[in-house]
Amino acid sequence: MATADKVDPVHQFIVNDLIPLGRVADMKLAFQNSSLFMFVAVALIIGFLLIGTRARKLVPGRMQSVVEMLYEFMAGTVRQVLGEEGMKFFPFVFSLFTFILALNLLGMVPYFFTVTSQIVVTASLALLVIFTVIIVGFVKNGIGFVKLFVPHGVPMVLLPLISLIEIISFFARPVSLSLRLFGNMLAGHIVLKVFAGFIGTLGAFGFFGVLGAIAPFLMTIAITALEFLVAFLQAFVFAVLTCVYLKDALHPHH
């Protein structure tokens, strides 16, 4: 069973119930391994932010510099996309970015669970973003928010078609937002596991097997490096796209 686990690249995505909490309205509730890692991520982020800034030094130390860099990096991104009035969404975007980044990076630790490889998690986050956009859009612009679907300067003949396309593209956003993160994390971890599995399988075939295992071993190293990049990049992409969608909510006119 142990060897079967090792070569099975999908095993790592299984959600286990750590503490069953019973049923509510025909739904099984439990504290799961994914739940545990969500809270580990929250604890890491808050711990990092608070420990890094505990000295409140005028001239920052190493850790405080990193915290400030993270802050200014995200603040710069939000300000660049949304402008000064969009800074009230900065905590939201910052939370999304750090949360996804922490979950992605936690997933890189061997035997740790990758929460962002669960479609339900990425879809929930994407829906949270899109509902925020819709609510902010209507609160801020009233019914004028539907102008988002009516591009300026389009001939009347084409308007129904264009509006239909705009509406479809708007509702495709949460789908692409969730699938991008989910797909990247899932595929990356499967590939990593497959190549790592080759090492063990080939290594079992004696001397030449060990020799042949060098290739997948180097591949695993390379993919691991790539996955660290993807972990950061996907978190950043998610945050930036959130900013871009929020910009539509603030300024629905194209």
Binding site for other proteins (CB under 8 A): 10-11, 13-17, 21, 23-24, 26-32, 34-35, 38-39, 41-42, 45-46, 49-50, 53, 56-58, 60, 64, 67-68, 71-72, 90-92, 94-95, 98-99, 117-121, 124-125, 128, 182, 186
- Backbone torsions φ then ψ of 21, nearest 5 degrees: -115, 10
Which of 99, 120, 119 has its CA nearest to residue 231? 99
Least distance between other proteins and beta carbon 149 (Å):
29
Nearer to other proteins, 75 or 162 (CB): 75
Least distance between other proteins and beta carbon 57 (Å):
8
Nearer to other proteins, 67 or 154 (CB): 67
Nearer to other proteins, 188 or 216 (CB): 188
Nearer to other proteins, 64 or 141 (CB): 64
Nearer to other proteins, 29 or 158 (CB): 29
Return the exposure string of 148-182: e unless at least 16 CB atoms fall within 10 Å of the residue's CB, then b.
bbeeeeeeeeeeeeebeebeeebeebbeebbbbbb
Least distance between other proteins and beta carbon 76 (Å):
12
How big is the CA angle at 151 (ends 149 and 153), to the nearest 5 degrees? 155
Least distance between other proteins and beta carbon 112 (Å):
16
Least distance between other proteins and beta carbon 72 (Å):
7
Which two three-digit tokens encode residue 23?
Answer: 């049923």
Nearer to other proteins, 55 or 225 (CB): 55
- Residues 123-127: contacts with CB under 8 Å, at least 24 apart: 123/174, 123/178, 123/182, 125/96, 125/100, 125/177, 125/178, 125/181, 125/238, 126/173, 126/174, 126/175, 126/177, 126/178, 126/181, 127/174, 127/178
Least distance between other proteins and beta carbon 163 (Å):
32
Return the exposure string of 64-74: e unless at least 16 CB atoms fall within 10 Å of the residue's CB, then b.
beebeebeeeb
